[in-house]
Amino acid sequence: VKADVAIVGAGVIGLSLAWELRRRELAVVVVEKGEPGREASHAAGGMLAWCDDQLPAPLVPLAELSAKLYPEFVREIEATSGVSVDLRTHGTIVFDHGEPQLRQVACRRLTAKELVELEPDIQPVSQNIQYWQEASVDPRILTQALAKAAKHRGAHVAHGEPALALETQAGRVTGVKTERALFSAPIVVNCGGAWAAQLSTPLDPTPSPTRPVKGQMLALVSREGRTGADARASIVRHVVRTPEVYIIPRSDGRIVIGATVEEAGFDKRTDAATIQRLHRSAADVVPELAHARIHETWAGLRPGSPDNLPILGATSLPGYFVATGHYRDGIMLAPATACLVAKTICGEPLEYDLSRFSCSRFATWGGFPVCRAI
């Protein structure tokens, strides 16, 4: 198979990039070891948390760009795929956060009375209540819609076999191979998420030192099984965040609750006691949730990096690029990442300097990637 660009990994990042490159009419193949969109992007809560002032400072411009791009990104994907990705813009209610940052014009304090008016079923568990003008999507639907839209626009998605190694010739990349196939392309982009470090490259150190960071989640439905068309059935309308837990309503009536942050290798098992603890923490703030039925539990693997910032852009191997390490924010950062990495690949001017996210910030020590500067 020949293409202009071969992308390894069909998660939200690889698929958004494929979509963005197809808009520039480049021939794109996406190589996926499993099914498209079934790893971290399937496990995510889908909060678009661009108001969070605890975001690391280097991420703020990317979050702001994503906030700007998201409405049009969703509109185009929905129009092309015919699938609604459940973009919800009611906003987020946040408990026990610090003072709202002044730069966040989209944040304000709420009194207990205002809270009750907004969400009658939420307990004012503290005096420190804020409203943030954020949004959420259903990340499972978003990745399926992205896959459909990218294919519709002519991207080829080859799934079921891992990319094993890069092909190189005369010091530059010429493609990527699986056990049975060679995908020839002058540009290869590693969007392999938590597995990105496993793709063998002729380079040492690996330019994508990601690690899996496990997150356990659960979804609740009300006992009466109010899902589907009756959107008013949902117990809460806003995303709710406390220091212990977050609660994300979906328009089909499910309520998603998360999440743990665990260094547990590639283990995706859930643990009943942990799920119960998350459920209890959610019920502390929305008591009605204590009576809701557990519909599903799962765990996924966030792509962490040594400094937990994304790894974006060119590597020292000509033709080889990386777009991974999005850790807790890959759903939010997908449109900005796709836009900036596509521009880098195409040599277009960038509105943001991506050098902060270059893989060159990592050096190896004793075989383990370590961070040069945080």
Ligand X SMILES: Cc1cc2nc3c(=O)[nH]c(=O)nc-3n(C[C@H](O)[C@H](O)[C@H](O)COP(=O)(O)OP(=O)(O)OC[C@H]3O[C@@H](n4cnc5c(N)ncnc54)[C@H](O)[C@@H]3O)c2cc1C
Nearer CB in complex with ligand X: 224/267: 267
Sequential DSSP letters for 320-351: EEEEE--TT-HHHHHHHHHHHHHHHHHT---S
Span of 85-93, 104-112, 193-201, 366-374 interacting with ligand X by CB under 6 A: 193-201
Task: Please state the closest distance from residue 117 (CB atom) to ligand X, in A.
Answer: 26
Q: Which two tokens stand for residue 158?
A: 């080859």
Nearer CB in complex with ligand X: 81/136: 136
3-state secondary structure of 165: strand
CA atoms within 13 A on the CB side of 265: 1
Q: Which two tokens stand for residue 222?
A: 């009300």
Interacting residue with ligand X among 249, 253, 306, 330 (CB under 6 A): 330
Give the distance from CA 25 to its chain's centroid.
Answer: 25
Establish if 12 lies at the interface with ligand X (CB under 6 A).
yes
Q: Number of H helices and number of E strands within the chain?
A: 7, 21
Interacting residue with ligand X among 26, 302, 304, 359 (CB under 6 A): 302
Q: Which residues pair with 7 in a beta bridge?
A: 30, 189
Establish if 193 lies at the interface with ligand X (CB under 6 A).
yes
Nearer CB in complex with ligand X: 14/253: 14
Span of 52-60, 85-93, 101-109, 295-303 interacting with ligand X by CB under 6 A: 295-303
C-alpha–C-alpha distance, residues 230 and 226, integer Å: 7
Whether 187 and 319 have beta carbons less than 8 Å apart is answered as yes
Nearer CB in complex with ligand X: 114/133: 133
Establish if 45 lies at the interface with ligand X (CB under 6 A).
yes
Give the distance from CA 268 to its chain's centroid.
Answer: 17
Task: Please state the closest distance from residue 154 (CB atom) to ligand X, in A.
Answer: 20
Interacting residue with ligand X among 5, 6, 26, 44 (CB under 6 A): 44
Instruction: Draw the binding track, 257-276, toward ligand X (x: CB under 6 A; -: no contact).
Output: -xx-----------------
Establish if 10 lies at the interface with ligand X (CB under 6 A).
yes
C-alpha–C-alpha distance, residues 336 and 148, integer Å: 20
Nearer CB in complex with ligand X: 217/283: 217
C-alpha–C-alpha distance, residues 306 and 373, integer Å: 10
Interacting residue with ligand X among 240, 331, 342, 359 (CB under 6 A): 331
C-alpha–C-alpha distance, residues 59 and 68, integer Å: 14
Task: Please state the closest distance from residue 224 (CB atom) to ligand X, in A.
Answer: 27
Q: Which residues bind ligand X (CB under 6 A)?
A: 8-14, 31-34, 38-41, 43-47, 162-163, 191-195, 198-199, 215, 217, 258-259, 300, 302-303, 324, 326-332
